[in-house]
Amino acid sequence: MEFEISKYFPGVRPGVTLPSKQVFELLQEEGMRQMVSDHYDLLAASSIKDLFPKNPIALEKAKEHSADFFIQICGGPEYFNKNRGKPQLNRRHQPFKITAEGRIEWLNCYKTVLTKLDLPDDVKRSFWNYLDVFSKWMVNS
């Protein structure tokens, strides 16, 4: 299955469609947490590693927050809202310099993780399409 990265256009905020709830139904909480953890492990060794915590405890906390968010948007428990409040991800990411190139690296790390998951192609595609569009909203530099 191919995961294409769509072009980023500065200032364009495309509509975001949430991923299929089947992502959570099939992976369950443990599988989603593992997916996010694997993604962060790749990020920590990537060209954008400086955007992520160096401290192992802080990195684990970042993984937890991210997993809580993805679990919630895929139809699982609302851990993120309960523990962190409304996502407001643009505001939360404002302190970090996120470039269009960084977006591509972030997505490439997810490509690697998604390729290894045992999910139907349509479920992977749904999650990928969300990541591709959602990531455009995070570019701020």
What pLDDT digit, counting tens, does each position of 43-100 carry?
A: 999 999 999 999 999 999 999 999 999 999 999 999 987 777 676 666 666 778 999 9
pLDDT in tens, 21-47: 999 999 999 999 999 999 999 999 999
- Residue 54: DSSP 8-state: S
Q: What is the pLDDT of residue 134?
A: 94
Task: Reply yes or no on whether the pLDDT at 132 is more than 90.
Answer: yes
Q: Which two tokens stand for residue 66?
A: 């991210």
Range of the domain at 78: 22-138
Letter for the amino acid at 30? E
Which residue in 134, 12, 13, 10 sits closest to 66, CA to CA?
134
CB atoms within 10 A of CB 119: 20
Mean pLDDT throughout 96-105? 95
Within its chain, how far is the Cα of 43 from the centroid? 11
Residue 5 lies in a domain: no
CA distance 59 to 128: 23
18 with 73: CB under 8 angstroms? yes
Task: Reply yes or no on whether the pLDDT at 16 is more than 70.
Answer: yes
Which residue in 31, 49, 9, 42 sits closest to 127, CA to CA?
31
Q: What is the CATH number of the domain that holds 93?
A: 1.10.490.10
Domain count of the fold of the chain: 1
